[in-house]
Structure 1
């Protein structure tokens, strides 16, 4: 069954096969793993007179009248009456001449649909229906599954295909890929039992357990999927250990000189992480370490010390940032620390063209450029390193997995792979990191340096906008700078940019004594960088921006931020935006300019952001409220998309899945490939060494 093509089923021709392929369904096994999104109870006929608005119900009756109405929209209107005298209108906007002929006066119908209020009576719009030879009282024997679909595939088609697949399942089960010593201790059903139950749940099944995917049958599949994911990442990790990497030991002189010159001492958390990285770099296998640290926790100095260890050992270092502006900021910061040590940094960005670019590429290829800082331009094919020993990637969630893997291909001498240090200021809850980044070692800077000025966060209703504008004026008159962030109002970047442009114009008119700048996603990179540079240099008092400044330059003089419509953003993003202020020595404020009325969830989220300054605590709360997909965002190309498992809902399965993956790799290696193929397929290729 595992390799049986879906075309082997009846009524699956080229068109249906093409539509199924859009959903990743190419085999009968794929079809069985295409699970219902919800279930309907069609076991009880409801008298039409007892129908409730908004409910879904199974009804039965006889057609009293049928006509094609030619109003604003052409529709087929069918009046249905049952034996109890109740009447309802069935309305079809899409119908064929054959359908209209079949739904004639006197036809006995059984329908299922949502009850709505029409202009003159209760209605069902496009109900599922069956024309009956007689008005029998037969009902569905179990709950009716509703499947995720695509254009051209109706629920009746899905149920017909699934019934054929279940008939095959009764004769030949998919191969069990979880050994008994893994599955038995958890008391979960077999794969065959789980699939059969989820496609044909009995009437007594708990709808809540099924809808919330708490039922043991769902847990059985989620457990296998999590195990497959862990097996894939552990296999990747083992493969990494078989790849050679340069041992970057160094004599410590450069690091000692930098630490002696710093105007501050490393925090205990920073020192611990520096030791963890130093130990990894001294090993002959590539480091794969994720460094998490809240906004302002001091990740850059940790990265600088790691870079110096590689430089002491005679190897090149590459640092990649998501924007030219951020890479330029890294260039300035690192140059200020490293230039006195005799280390020159080279910057490579998209703006470098012609002879200038060729000169920089030659310096990298010859090895004379020891520390190379840039954007995604660093992983282009023309960029060749002589002795690349360490790759540092900042704000990893802005890069796809494929992109950071591409940098690993830029091997140094003797074909050795470079070590990788991956940094993020977006705290990832531990439960999520255990699932999604099991191929990486994790270091956390869990304390802010002393002396950081806390940011006061207040929620203000947008009816007080004039007061907020006055506050901006006062702050700027006192020599401070401010951000005004326009968030997404409609699901359109164009509209968001338009809102930012309108806001910038209004604020310029209302604050004529202030210099107002504007940045948004549709500005060319060079123009956006110019405006940000003007703001950083103090030539602008107020910067109106979209969320493109979530990751941006340090402007210590900026002490006030206004975020419009904060209820539209997730907690982690609000925290990242807020981190643009409070980077100097003065008290800083963040005003959340919300639009009433707020939903309960929005009220809860704004309460959390006001009451907490810990990015890790906020990330955990955000994960619980919005789920993993929203917290991580959709930027990460190649990130694992789970089909059944949910990293929040199924947290209790994560640790057992990790233990099970170890058992399978150690005792059942023959199951590794089939497990990965069943659940990840070609998607695992993102992690090849």
Structure 2
């Protein structure tokens, strides 16, 4: 073996075949191996008398075999009777070999570990780990807590433990290339162990270690690694920000005339929060490097106006602006609003989506390339290969969490001309909990529109079992007869869009039969864009009383006269999505209601989530609760890679460390730049795991 181990196969017992198997556990190199930590521990350091064993409490017991026999009940099993001075317990094996059966000869001394359960013969241990104590000689109990590792087919816990013992011996002998990348004075300041001490401890904790500390991630050895992992993610975003800001961007000086022209058209004035955010954006746009700003605003807070005022600054400087939205319905809503504002000011708006074909598409592409279209609005079609801009100065991305990293990169690349990159404004109506904002979006400057425009009415939310569906239908009829409008949203647990649309069609048919006097429309994701747009326009013009829809109406639909929303099967949606849907009502002066029509019985988690919806209309509070209930992976969406790949840290549990981690990242970046790349490589590998671009 070489003096210094540099690869997995340098560990005794790991050959090429096993190294390949370990890839199923995301173990590709030595660092991955050492950071493949136990997810729980078992205390096998003390012997429990059989008579003192209690149901559901794992224990080590030891006794003499009094008999073993194959019994035939519902399933064939091997039943072994074990006895010590205090009592008798049964071991039951449903999968066993002849060699195993032979080990349980009467009189043999057996030590085993398992969780006793009540069975047909009293307390039983099902498939316990066991060892035969040869010649009746007692053997020493474990000196440490026993680690339990994430495992995969073909690699047993016992084998993982033996291999880790081999590798830890190399670590103690300093025969492993694993550097401590945190400054020594930090370890002293925060009373943290070295990397070697932390890893040795977590793989082999002494028997007297408090299990509760380990279970809650509170032990200093865990904190040492948690801080380092969060630091690596923070540094990856620092690096991304530095890469983006190493490019030059057009300097867009403030020219307020166009903004004033836009504001004069409006029947309202911006809120204080909107004005503050516009000023923050204006300062960014005037700098010679790309703006990277995230604007968060709860449902109905007026993000579209903020985006329009930002666009004015780029347009006034002679540059093009592109606004990209994740769905055609949302993109069409933006097109409708922005065209109404900008075309009277002689600024041509263009539309590009997947459904734009043939001559219409070619005409749009030509006008984008020659600068005739100054404000482009569309879906992901904006970054397809054949799209070229004349001089793109600002990219606005709405509901950015729905786009993948490469999609956002593509649009930025399109604007890179003559050495200049466009500015980026990213908007979301999905409030981001503080812990996620400090980690997933650490490369972005953040603005929050924390004030709703005047005139918005509060929404009363109630949860009703679908057994009272007829009452809810009557409620819809009453609201519509009073001149109001309503939404009926259909959700399905299946991912299939076809099934969701079918459910909406069936619901619309049923409601038309139950409410023949109402004008009922239907909109879903499989309709053609023109058809969807026509139905939404008819609903807005009050030519439709009740709109039956799938969750395509989650964002971008603004009909102030709609004051009632029914959401079927709300237990199948996340809180953030429910909050978005609910935000489609309450946009006018009339009192608004949201009915969560759930299917009984509800699970405990579903009850918790619906209670949160009843209790609060604060999007940030709801997002925090969503994070606690569902975790960061689901909340960010599968495209937001990185945070759901955390190995040791947990954003819910360790969120209080993030301010410290941000300070650490700044210090490492400035004072220890040589440690940045090794830290990122150790924890993130070479994968592109950036939450934002």
TM over 0.5: yes
Q: Which of the residues 166, 169, 173 maps onto 2:168?
A: 166
What's the CA shift string for 1:544-585, capped at 9, x where partnerless?
A: 444443334223332111234444544323211211211233
Q: Distance in 1 between matches of 2:7 and 2:527?
A: 49
Q: Distance in 2 between matches of 1:513 and 1:638?
A: 52
Q: Distance in 2 between matches of 1:486 and 1:511?
A: 17
- Secondary structure of 1:337's partner? helix
Q: Distance in 1 between matches of 2:521 and 2:102?
A: 65
8 Å contact from structure 1 (residues 60, 109) kept in 2: yes
Q: Distance in 1 between matches of 2:156 and 2:628?
A: 34
Structure 2 vs 1, CA of residues 238 and 489 (structure 1 numbering), >3 Å: closer, same or farther? closer
Shift of residue 252, structure 1, vs aligned partner: 2.7
Shift of residue 315, structure 1, vs aligned partner: 0.9
- Matched with 2:399 is 395
Q: Distance in 1 between matches of 2:386 and 2:642?
A: 24
Shift of residue 360, structure 1, vs aligned partner: 1.7
Q: Which of the residues 196, 200, 205 maps onto 1:196?
A: 200
- Matched with 2:19 is 17
Q: Which of the residues 352, 357, 377 maps onto 1:353?
A: 357
Q: Which of the residues 307, 314, 318 maps onto 1:303?
A: 307
- Matched with 2:337 is 333
* 1:75-114 alignment, distance < 5 Å: 75-83=76-84, 84-93=86-95, 95=96, 98-99=99-100, 102=103, 107-114=108-115
- Matched with 1:130 is 131
8 Å contact from structure 1 (residues 80, 90) kept in 2: no
Shift of residue 193, structure 1, vs aligned partner: 1.2
* 1:280-295 alignment, distance < 5 Å: 280-295=284-299
Q: Which of the residues 670, 674, 677 maps onto 1:670?
A: 674
Q: Distance in 2 between matches of 1:168 and 1:411?
A: 52
1:467 aligns with 2:471: yes
Q: Distance in 1 between matches of 2:462 and 2:544?
A: 25
Shift of residue 341, structure 1, vs aligned partner: 0.3
Scaled by the length of structure 2, what TM-score is found? 0.91
- Secondary structure of 2:414's partner? coil
8 Å contact from structure 1 (residues 274, 302) kept in 2: yes
Once the two structures are overlaid, the 10-residue window that deviates more, 228-237 or 195-204, is: 228-237
8 Å contact from structure 2 (residues 501, 525) kept in 1: yes
- Matched with 1:377 is 381
Q: Distance in 1 between matches of 2:553 and 2:608?
A: 25
What's the CA shift string for 1:639-688, capped at 9, x where partnerless?
A: 66322222232223212222222222222111111111111221357589
- Matched with 2:9 is 7
Structure 2 vs 1, CA of residues 452 and 185 (structure 1 numbering), >3 Å: closer, same or farther? same
What's the Cα RMSD here?
A: 3.0
Q: Distance in 2 between matches of 1:629 and 1:649?
A: 14
Q: Distance in 2 between matches of 1:317 and 1:69?
A: 77
8 Å contact from structure 1 (residues 145, 199) kept in 2: yes
Q: Which of the residues 453, 457, 469 maps onto 1:453?
A: 457
Shift of residue 515, structure 1, vs aligned partner: 4.8
- Structure 1 segments unaligned to the other structure (5+ residues): none
Q: Distance in 2 between matches of 1:624 and 1:577?
A: 21
8 Å contact from structure 2 (residues 64, 108) kept in 1: yes
* 1:182-221 alignment, distance < 5 Å: 182-221=186-225
Q: Distance in 1 between matches of 2:11 and 2:516?
A: 72
Once the two structures are overlaid, the 10-residue window that deviates more, 352-361 or 627-636, is: 627-636
1:261 aligns with 2:265: yes
Q: Which of the residues 615, 618, 625 maps onto 2:619?
A: 615
Q: Distance in 1 between matches of 2:415 and 2:124?
A: 67
Q: Distance in 1 between matches of 2:413 and 2:360?
A: 25
- Matched with 2:438 is 434
Q: Distance in 1 between matches of 2:79 and 2:524?
A: 52
What's the CA shift string for 1:448-502, capped at 9, x where partnerless?
A: 0111121111233444332222112222233333223344557987876776566
8 Å contact from structure 2 (residues 523, 535) kept in 1: yes
Shift of residue 398, structure 1, vs aligned partner: 0.9
Q: Distance in 2 between matches of 1:434 and 1:536?
A: 39
Shift of residue 289, structure 1, vs aligned partner: 0.3
- Matched with 2:662 is 658
Scaled by the length of structure 1, what TM-score is found? 0.91
Q: Distance in 2 between matches of 1:143 and 1:660?
A: 32
Shift of residue 48, structure 1, vs aligned partner: 4.0
Once the two structures are overlaid, the 10-residue window that deviates more, 413-422 or 623-632, is: 623-632
- Matched with 2:650 is 646
What's the CA shift string for 1:274-324, capped at 9, x where partnerless?
A: 111111111110000000011000000110111111111111111000011
Q: Which of the residues 44, 47, 68 maps onto 1:45?
A: 47
What's the CA shift string for 1:76-115, capped at 9, x where partnerless?
A: 423232224413241234x556545555665543332333
Structure 2 vs 1, CA of residues 89 and 3 (structure 1 numbering), >3 Å: closer, same or farther? closer
What's the CA shift string for 1:522-542, capped at 9, x where partnerless?
A: 778787667656655555443
Structure 2 vs 1, CA of residues 522 and 339 (structure 1 numbering), >3 Å: closer, same or farther? closer
Once the two structures are overlaid, the 10-residue window that deviates more, 599-608 or 307-316, is: 599-608
Q: Distance in 2 between matches of 1:491 and 1:88?
A: 46
- Structure 2 segments unaligned to the other structure (5+ residues): none
8 Å contact from structure 2 (residues 91, 128) kept in 1: no
Once the two structures are overlaid, the 10-residue window that deviates more, 267-276 or 62-71, is: 62-71
Q: Distance in 2 between matches of 1:463 and 1:378?
A: 46
Q: Distance in 1 between matches of 2:106 and 2:194?
A: 50
Q: Distance in 2 between matches of 1:540 and 1:130?
A: 74
Shift of residue 147, structure 1, vs aligned partner: 1.2
1:147 aligns with 2:157: no
1:578 aligns with 2:579: no
Once the two structures are overlaid, the 10-residue window that deviates more, 581-590 or 206-215, is: 581-590
8 Å contact from structure 1 (residues 481, 541) kept in 2: yes
1:238 aligns with 2:242: yes
8 Å contact from structure 1 (residues 227, 657) kept in 2: yes
Q: Distance in 2 between matches of 1:676 and 1:279?
A: 32
Structure 2 vs 1, CA of residues 135 and 526 (structure 1 numbering), >3 Å: closer, same or farther? farther
